[in-house]
Structure formats: C-alpha cells, structure tokens
Amino acid sequence: MSRTEKGTFAAGQSGNPAGRPKGALGKVTRWREALEPHGDELFKVAVEHALDGDMTALKLCLERISPPVKAASDPVEFALHGSTLAEKAESVLEAIAAGIIDVPSGRQLIGAIADLGKILEITELEKRLAQLEQLQEMKK
C-alpha cells in the first residue's frame, strides 16, 4: 500500500496509480452534456426570473451577455536601470512614482522580475547540484 504510518500518501506515489480510465468523462463534462438539451428552456427561465427582480438571475444573464472587461493598458517605454533584479524593481517603482506607468502595470512588471529571480535561483541550484554530483562521481 502507498500510505505511510501516519495515514498520508507517500511522496511521489499516487493514491490511484491507475488513474481515471482513458476516455472517461469528468463530472463537469457529464453535467454539461446532460444540461445541453435543455439549454434554451433553462435560459428562458433565468431571463424570466431576472425580469421578475431576482438579482442573482439578473447577474447571471448580464454576465453572459457582457463578460467583465479586463483591464488593459497601453504599452509604455521607460529605462529599466540597474544590474541587479532589486535595482530593476526599484526603477519600476520610480516609473510608477513619476507617472510613467500605472500601478497595475508596475505590479505586473515587478511580479515578472520576481519570477525571473526565482527562475535564476533554480537555475543556479541546478548548476550547483550538477557540480556536486560530478564531485561525488569523481570520488567513487
């Protein structure tokens, strides 16, 4: 059995190694297929409820007619100063403070810089691990 003494699954072992059978439909797909033939009727009922003042039905209908608008900003150009990631993030903050870029765009840029930092960190760890493994092999 793949359980440890504490009752949790052992790391790297699935509780269901065979997985879902190939071609088996998930719950959401089955429900969607069951509702599909009744779509027009269900939509009419939702509209009737919305027209009768049901705010939940109204919200549902309006969201289907006009999905929420996603924020978009125009591209901007500014100098990304610094040699370290922290300095680059500071230059983004300076651009926000100067009104060159908006706050949401600045947050996205700083998030991208942070993600790059994580990638660089993992890359460095991979290199160090490979070096350690080579040293271990040489000692054998």
The H or E element spanning position 139 is helix 103-139
Query: Distances in Å between the alpha carbon of 43 and those of 31, 34, 48?
Result: 16, 15, 9
Which residues touch 71 (CB under 8 Å, ≥6 apart)?
104
pLDDT value for 1: 45
Cα torsion angle, 31, 32, 37, 39, sign: positive
Question: For the chain (length 140 residues), average pLDDT per consecutive 10?
Answer: 56 74 83 89 92 93 82 80 94 94 92 96 96 91
The number of beta carbons lying within 10 Å of the beta carbon of residue 82 is: 13
Q: Please tell me the distance from the alpha carbon of residue 98 to that of residue 92, in angstroms, as a whole number.
A: 10
Which residues touch 80 (CB under 8 Å, ≥6 apart)?
88, 91, 92
pLDDT value for 9: 66
Nearest to 104 by CA among 80, 82, 76: 76
